[in-house]
Structure 1
Amino acid sequence: MTFRMPPEWAPHERTWMAWPGPNPTFADAEELAEAREAWAAVARAVRRFEPVTVVHGPGQGESARALLGPDVDLVERDLDDAWMRDIGPTFVVDGDRLAAVDWVFNGWGGQDWARWEHDSQVARHVAALAGAPVLSSRLVNEGGAIHVDGEGTVLLTDTVQLGADRNPQWTREQVEAEIHAKLGTVKAIWLPHGLSGDYGLYGTQGHVDIVAAFARPGTVVVHSQQDPAHPDYERSRTYVEILSAETDAKGRALEVVEIPAPTVLKDEDGDWVDYSYINHYLCNGGVVLCGFGDPNDETAAGIFRRLFPDRTVTLVDARAIFAGGGGIHCITQQQPKVRQSAV
């Protein structure tokens, strides 16, 4: 078998999401209501371009339907949280065959607040619904911790795949071998860490999809904090330096496109924010981009319009999503369209 993970800009069959329910991430009714509004806004934005299926917990279907509208598909399964990028499968293809990689999920490194009894089974539920055989992995990993160019290159971070709370017995070489075997990649580019805010209460401990992402083969967009007062000022310069010196699996020097961070530096509690435009989602004909009610929203949208001239860029307010520990990319998971065999 030669399964590989297509790049996000390849055609999709549909997008999978999960519906927020009462859980530690959304501590009260107001936070849960705000999260549901935000998740629904993303689902509706994606639905303009491709089918969307939302998995909801028992008894949550009515609340989901009320906000999502009639043209989003709903499926009931047990859930703990709502981050489909991480709890769902990573879909891979081999010609006209679809399969689903099921990583080990342990609540982003077994965090005290996290629950994952049900979420650890979601990848298999979604795979079954998609009609895709499961490729099981022993690696503790999440979909937000990888990003591929579709031509053999994958982005990773030291503090996730090599983190003591995920894979303490694995070497870098073992991680790379497993990632390559499951994704069909041949070269890993490692970044040392994620954004500073991603190590807070609801952080993932360094997911790459808030830091850097491929926009096309040979081109990577990178978070660029412009204010020296923010701890990500130095971090983002480290990312640019590393990626600018790298080549991809085809031997091409990477073109690095810096995306200026939002101007907001701290949240209402005085904590550093990890607001980032990198955590966007590509769907058929569209780019769904995190918005923050910020002067840099349109600056970022303009850059993405130049990078994706054939796609419609839609800004969706992501502040309620980031309050729970992620962004638009974190709550979506693409199912690639497989090539149809000749009749």
Structure 2
Amino acid sequence: MTFRMPPEWAPHERTWMAWPGPNPTFTDDEELAGARAAWASVARAVRRFEPVTTVHGPGQGDIARELLGPDVDLVERELDDAWMRDIGPTFVTDGQGGLAAVDWVFNGWGAQDWARWEHDSKIAHHVADLAGVPVLGSTLVNEGGAIHVDGEGTVLLTDTVQLGAGRNPGWTREQVEAEIHAKLGTTKAIWLPHGLTGDYGRYGTQGHVDIVAAFARPGTVVVHSQRDPAHPDHARSQLYAEILRDQTDAEGRRLEVVEIPAPTVLKDEEGDWVDYSYINHYLCNGGVVLCAFDDPHDELAAGIFRRLFPERTVTPVDARTIFASGGGIHCITQQQPRI
């Protein structure tokens, strides 16, 4: 039986999220409160379009219910962190009404010294059980934010994630591709050499593709475009666009590349380069939940997404707090396809 990962724009049964609890990512009560408010804003935005289930840790249910409201489903499981895109399963379908959940090996984004994953490494199994679907195990260390598919055989990957020494030492590019294709039903991988500069900071993922590039439909990919030469991502984003324009997808189509201008802000309050990106959006049933940054380019990006998805409602949600913790809106959501 062959399974494949549907594209994000295919219909969803629901969205899965995880609730922020005390951990090294949120260093004090104020940061934790801010994270909870930000996660709740995303959950409520997604809930306008489809059901949302949020997994929370023991003793976290009351505050989750208070901030999420009555329309978000809650379940309790042990958690380490709150990035459901990465710790949750990747759902795949067999085209005949069957659904399964790929359980990648999760090791704290390359066994980073601040990360804990004793419980998060089991969340994919828990979510699969809650969804009532079988688990497809994998020996590849991988996360949901490190892949993006077009639903027609093409997958985006990055060298510093799947081939990184902290994740899959000893694996060749061919071995990684074989495992990815076997689990996702893809046939062609397009590799980018690395991620955005800020993604290699303290809480970075070391190069997730879902902040760099994403399919908007078969044959069309949106890519982060840093227009300011003062930012090191200026050269990187030019490289990504060049690589993608030179590529064809699994169906042989030359890719159409839509460059999304980065926000105007270049550094955070600590003076570090930001990796603020509109690419890290989430498609849900009838909607686009788009990262916003209280930035002059927010409306520019929203306009581009409205043109790309004229049948969907674009909802900007302030993502600065989420980015400060190491990710964005796409990173904290995970779709379960409708079958």
* CA deviation after TM superposition for structure 1 residue 165, in Å: 0.5
- CA displacement, residues 103-148 of structure 1 (integer Å, 9 cap, x when unaligned): 0000000000000000000000000000110000000000000000
What is the CA–CA distance in structure 2 between the aligned matches of 1:30 and 1:229, rounded to whole Å? Answer: 32
What is the CA–CA distance in structure 2 between the aligned matches of 1:245 and 1:92, rounded to whole Å? Answer: 29
1:216 aligns with 2:248: no
What is the CA–CA distance in structure 2 between the aligned matches of 1:104 and 1:321, rounded to whole Å? Answer: 24
What is the CA–CA distance in structure 1 between the aligned matches of 2:165 and 2:19, rounded to whole Å? Answer: 30
Q: What letter corresponds to residue 306 of structure 2 in structure 1? A: R
1:20 aligns with 2:29: no
Partner in structure 2 of residue 341 of structure 1: none
What is the CA–CA distance in structure 1 between the aligned matches of 2:24 and 2:209, rounded to whole Å? Answer: 24
**Superposed counterparts of 1:1-343, under 5 Å:** 1-94=1-94, 95-338=96-339
* CA deviation after TM superposition for structure 1 residue 156, in Å: 0.1
Q: What letter corresponds to residue 37 of structure 1 in structure 2? A: A
What is the CA–CA distance in structure 1 between the aligned matches of 2:99 and 2:132, rounded to whole Å? Answer: 8
1:154 is paired with a residue whose SS is strand
TM-score of the superposed pair, with normalisation by structure 1: 0.98
* CA deviation after TM superposition for structure 1 residue 64, in Å: 0.2
* CA deviation after TM superposition for structure 1 residue 180, in Å: 0.1
Q: What letter corresponds to residue 263 of structure 1 in structure 2? A: T
What is the CA–CA distance in structure 1 between the aligned matches of 2:239 and 2:262, rounded to whole Å? Answer: 15
Q: What is the number of residues matched between the two proteins?
A: 338
1:79 is paired with a residue whose SS is coil
Percent identity of paired positions between Structure 1 and Structure 2: 86
* CA deviation after TM superposition for structure 1 residue 213, in Å: 0.0
What is the CA–CA distance in structure 1 between the aligned matches of 2:235 and 2:132, rounded to whole Å? Answer: 45
1:313 is paired with a residue whose SS is strand
1:27 is paired with a residue whose SS is coil
What is the CA–CA distance in structure 2 between the aligned matches of 1:152 and 1:162, rounded to whole Å? Answer: 21
| Structure 1 segments unaligned to the other structure (5+ residues) | 339-343
What is the CA–CA distance in structure 2 between the aligned matches of 1:304 and 1:112, rounded to whole Å? Answer: 37
What is the CA–CA distance in structure 1 between the aligned matches of 2:138 and 2:338, rounded to whole Å? Answer: 23
* CA deviation after TM superposition for structure 1 residue 169, in Å: 1.1
Q: What letter corresponds to residue 4 of structure 1 in structure 2? A: R
What is the CA–CA distance in structure 1 between the aligned matches of 2:239 and 2:5, rounded to whole Å? Answer: 27
What is the CA–CA distance in structure 2 between the aligned matches of 1:324 and 1:297, rounded to whole Å? Answer: 20
CA RMSD of aligned residues (A): 0.3
TM-score of the superposed pair, with normalisation by structure 2: 1.00
What is the CA–CA distance in structure 2 between the aligned matches of 1:273 and 1:286, rounded to whole Å? Answer: 26
Q: What letter corresponds to residue 320 of structure 1 in structure 2? A: T
Segments ≥4 residues shifted beyond 6 Å:
none
- CA displacement, residues 294-319 of structure 1 (integer Å, 9 cap, x when unaligned): 00000000000000000000000000
What is the CA–CA distance in structure 2 between the aligned matches of 1:132 and 1:331, rounded to whole Å? Answer: 21
